[in-house]
Structure 1
């Protein structure tokens, strides 16, 4: 029983000591040049208030609408480019070429 308490006691006091430890990482993923900095938190492990700024929840329906809007904008850009490259094309012909998979004319 004493061994279990000693282990739990050591875990409680050992873990916080690593909370302020800043280490460099090698390309292989090993830690080097470790230094204890009081109050420092690893940004890879802790989310800060700065990280939370600008984050909003987007529902699946909103995401679908945003993706659809982006797709329509890019499609319209492609139609405009094709029309400017070949002045004989109108919107319908340019759209038909896109659907047919024809490459742009240069």
Structure 2
């Protein structure tokens, strides 16, 4: 007795070739997403809005804006702390979006060193 294949059955394509093409497509999508993230500007405010930090997605600090009321010669340490806090917060936003976008593309697959 001869085994019969179901009607409409086609042999699977070369699985390795398909995986390579899929990986290349994912890499292209990740590169595009990274370019979009790099071009975007992120901002945050700290200290109740008296310090605003703006940074690009490729982590270039664009501006720090201070409200006049924060500039008190006796509060220099507070000002420095707010600036550090703001820079760290905006960096966290960039990292969070980068990770989220890459997870969308990779389907949550964690590939060390990929981004």
Q: Same fold (TM over 0.5)?
A: no
Higher strand share: 2
Higher relative contact order, chain-length normalized (CA < 8 Å, sep 6+): 2
Shorter chain as normaliser: what TM range? 0.3 to 0.5
